[in-house]
Every structure is written in structure tokens, then in C-alpha cells.
Amino acid sequence: MAAEARWSGRNPDKDRLRDEIWGTLESTGVNVGPVWSRIPNFAGADLAALHLSKVPAWKTAKTVKCNPDPPQIPVRLRALHDGKIVYAPVPELTRGFPFVRLDPKVLAARGIEFETAATAQGFLAHGTPVDFADMEMLDFVVVGCVAVSRSGGRTGKGGGFADLELGIFREFGKVSETTPITTTVHSSQVVDDASVPMQGHDSPLNFIATEKELIDTRTPMRQPAGVDWDRVQPDQYEAIPFLKVLRAKLGG
């Protein structure tokens, strides 16, 4: 078994599920690069991005928020080629600004290849730093997942970044009740509903795209109203520079 995952210990059931998924990806050889303590990259990520683009809301979206991880490079790339503004978070929110904004028109005018800008190194180098309050309304949201269920359950790598981001977006009114929450994963990351424990602060998925299919979850689960500040971990405050200031600003 691999070494203990970076954020293990917060939820033993989720820890076991993540370990199972990471181990399966490695044992079947569908992983691309290391997977432990990560949003795992996988063979077929480009096909999953293609399937995600079939969601009706993608076609009409002007702004897309996408997580910064390698398996979603094809999603960011497709969004830029489709002429959409892309908001990407600083990996693990470790800088003084939380997001960068990628405008395909600006990138093209500067001669920056979309293939470069779609990578984490590329969007940090070429994107415009923005704060939560300065972001436009988000029409489409993509989050990174380790395991998902067909009813919309999800778990990330354990750091809590996606749910924290989404809670902040809701506090600032950057997403609405109808903004789709989506992901791309390998088909082996889709597990039965009972395997994915969901808590009140967890954001369920509306669509899941794999290399094989597009899943409309029609989730019965409600989206959280905002940030559950009581559940923010001490190490998150230590690792995310602006979090204490943001909590004070939002009155949490």
C-alpha cells in the first residue's frame, strides 16, 4: 500500500475510498503519472472533456471555472478554444490571490498558445490575478474528483479546496442555484452511491463525464448555502493566506 495520503484522518470512510480508487488506477495502468494525494490524471481525459462539452449549459456558457489539476487540462483547453473566459484557482490557494482569469482573446493577441495557457504553470504565468469579489458570474463549474457516484456524490483528494471555493462563490453570489457543478473522471472512479459519504458542506455534482459517457446525475442532494466556517480546518487557515481576511470580510 502507498504511504498515508496527505490529508488522511479527516474522514476515515473517504480515506478508504480514495485509497481504493488510487490503487485501482495504478493497478489497471490507466493512471497518467502519480495519483496518490492528487486529483488523478487518467487515460482518456481528452475524451471525457469532449463528453463534458455536450452538456447544454457548456454550449451557452461564457465563463467557466475549472480546477487546476492535470486531468482537466483538456477541459481548460477546450474552453479557451470555444471562446470562453476561464477562471482557474491557484493550486491549493497558496498565494495572496485566489484565482487567475484567462481571456482567449487576450491570449491570442499576445501570441500565447492555448495549449500553454491551459497548464497550471501556463495560467499562473499568463493569466490575470483576480480576487473572488472581482470575478464575473460563473456559468459553468468544473471541480476535481477522486471518486464520484451516479447520484452526484463526490470526494476530492481530501484537502477540502473545492467545497471551500464553492462556498465562497455562493457567499459572493458568483454562482446560482442552477449553475452546473461538473467533473471529468475515469470510468473506474465512478462507484456506487453508498460508497461516497456526503456531508452538509459537500457540493454534489450535476454532471459527470468519463472517457465512455456523460452522466446526468439529476442529483436529489441540495447545494450548500455558503461556507461552513466551523468546518474549516486549522491547517487550511495556515496554508491559505487570505482565508482569515476573507472570513472577517464575509462576517463568518
**pLDDT (tens digit per residue) in 50-79:** 999 999 999 999 999 999 999 999 999 999
Q: What is the CA radius of gyration of the chain?
A: 17
Residue 202 has a pLDDT of 84
Nearest to 84 by CA among 98, 101, 69, 109: 101
CB 178 within 8 A of CB 17: no
**Structural domains in the chain (count):** 1
Residue 93 has a pLDDT of 53
State whether residue 105 is helix, strand or coil: helix
Residue 239 has a pLDDT of 64
Q: What is the pTM of this model?
A: 0.89
Cell 501570441 found at: 111
Q: Is residue 24 part of a domain?
A: no
Mean pLDDT by 10 residues, the chain (252 residues): 51 90 98 96 98 98 96 98 95 66 98 97 94 92 97 89 83 91 98 91 93 97 78 68 68 60
Residue 118 has a pLDDT of 98
Nearest to 152 by CA among 191, 207, 201: 207
Angle at which helices 45-52 and 73-81 cross, to 10°: 40
User: Which residue type is seen at 195?
Assistant: S
State whether residue 182 is helix, strand or coil: strand
Q: Is residue 234 part of a domain?
A: yes
Q: d(Cα 150, Cα 224) in Å, to the nearest integer?
A: 19
CB 129 within 8 A of CB 140: no
**How many other β-carbons are positioned within 10 Å of the β-carbon of residue 4?**
12
Domain that holds residue 94: 12-19+32-250
Facing residues of 140 across strands? Answer: 64
Going by their DSSP bridges, the two strands 214-216 and 207-209 should be labelled as antiparallel
Identify the CATH number of the domain in which residue 45 sits.
Answer: 3.40.50.10420
Residue 5 has a pLDDT of 55
Residue 227 has a pLDDT of 72
Q: Is residue 5 part of a domain?
A: no
Residue 52 has a pLDDT of 98
- 86: Cβ contacts below 8 Å, ≥ 6 apart: 63, 64, 65, 66, 76, 79, 80, 101, 102, 104, 123
Residue 1 has a pLDDT of 42
